[in-house]
Structure 1
Amino acid sequence: MMTANAVVLRPKKIRKVAWACAIGLVAVFTVVGLLLGNTPTGVIFRTSDQVAMILLGFLLAGGVLLLTRPKVNADATGISVRNVVTSHRFEWTDVLSISFPDGAAWARLELPEDEYISIMAVQAVDREYAVKSVRALRELHKAVHNQR
């Protein structure tokens, strides 16, 4: 999404896949947890075991949903990149360029001294959306540098 002076980006496909997987995990672990009570093996599963199995499904689903976290907010003052676990904020003067190397899973910010930060919100699997996103970030980066 791009407005006059701001760009907000989130991945598309991974969000759908992550939500589907999370719902599937909760469903499977709930069914397994509920069916644990009656087994012909002689093992006795208590209510606490069943609850633990269901909670495990929710915990795994929460882990999968971390993949929906990536987001980019960029405006004339700089760019904020939130990945699965980390968040970074850079002024445009600190960013050399925005690149998407061949074969890479996601775009990245090129920084001084051969450093870079991955932009997990712009993923190769999103194809045309990824292309438009990189172009929007590059235009904003260029516009800010041309004003200086």
Structure 2
Amino acid sequence: MSTPAPPPAPVLPLTWSPRRNRYVLLPLCGVMVIVFTVLAFALPANWHTNDRAAMVVCGLIFAGVALMLARPRVSADETGVTVVNFVRSRRLAWAEIVRVNLRAGDPWVILDLADGTSLAAVGIQPGAGRAQAVTAARTLRDLVDDRGTARR
């Protein structure tokens, strides 16, 4: 009997992101801006210009928050991993990542780092599909195992 061949290494660069969130949130941003702008002009005549401007600004603020919610992703390339979360992004070399965790009940992948801290990788989350998140976490873990230990 022959030993089964290991699965082929994934081709880099790879990007994981909750696509359904983006498909919903990006059009919603445009709709919010349009609705609040239309409401601002449809207000009764006794509303002042600054009230109308405030309505438009509220639409822009809500759209900005929705854009932040659509931001998360995890990108892997030859030199490391870029984790983009809601507000911040961080670039990690392969050797900086010690372990990739996705336990039952976790809202997203957690990366244990060489400096003793952890980093949430919101771009890989079971809310977008458990099987898809597990596959993405395993792929990232395999990449960390292959590339992180080879350069330590």
In which range does the TM-score fall when normalised by the shorter chain? 0.7 to 0.9
Partner of 1:69: 71
**Partner residue in 2 for 1:26:** 33
Which among 126, 129, 142 is matched to residue 128 of structure 2?
A: 126
Counterpart-to-counterpart distance in 2, 1:123 and 1:47: 43
What is the 5 A alignment of 1:31-110?
31-38=38-45, 44-110=46-112
Equivalent position of 1:115 in the other structure: 117
Query: Which 5+ residue runs of structure 1 have no aligned equivalent?
Result: 39-43
Q: Following TM superposition, by how much is the alpha carbon of 1:69 offset from its aligned partner in structure 2, in angstroms? A: 1.4
> Which of 10, 13, 17 is the equivalent residue of 2:20?
13
AA partner of residue 87 (structure 2)? V
CA contact (8 A) 1:9 1:71 kept: yes
Equivalents in 1 of 2:113, 2:126: separation in Å? 21
SS, match of residue 129 in structure 1: helix
* Contact 2:96/2:148 (<8 A) preserved: no
> Where do 4+ consecutive residues of structure 1 move more than 3 Å?
145-148
TM-score normalised to the size of structure 2? Answer: 0.78
Structure 2: tracts of 5 or more residues without a match? 1-8
Give the stretch that moved more between structures: 17-26 or 80-89.
17-26
Q: Which of residues 136, 139, 147 is equivalent to 1:136?
A: 139
The CA distance in 2 between the partners of 1:145 and 1:4, in whole Å, is 16
Indicate if the aligned counterparts of 1:13 and 1:126 stay in contact, CA closer than 8 A: yes
How far 1:135 sits from its partner (Å)?
2.0
Identity %: 30
RMSD value, Cα:
2.3
Secondary structure of the corresponding residue to residue 122 of structure 2: strand
Aligned residue for 1:19, secondary structure, equals helix
Deviation at residue 81 of structure 1 after TM alignment: 0.8
* Deviations, residues 55-107 of structure 1 (Å, cap 9, x unaligned): 32122111211112112221342211111111112222221111112212111
TM-score normalised over the length of structure 1: 0.80
Cα separation, 1, equivalents of 2:145 and 2:115:
20
* CA deviation after TM superposition for structure 1 residue 119, in Å: 0.5
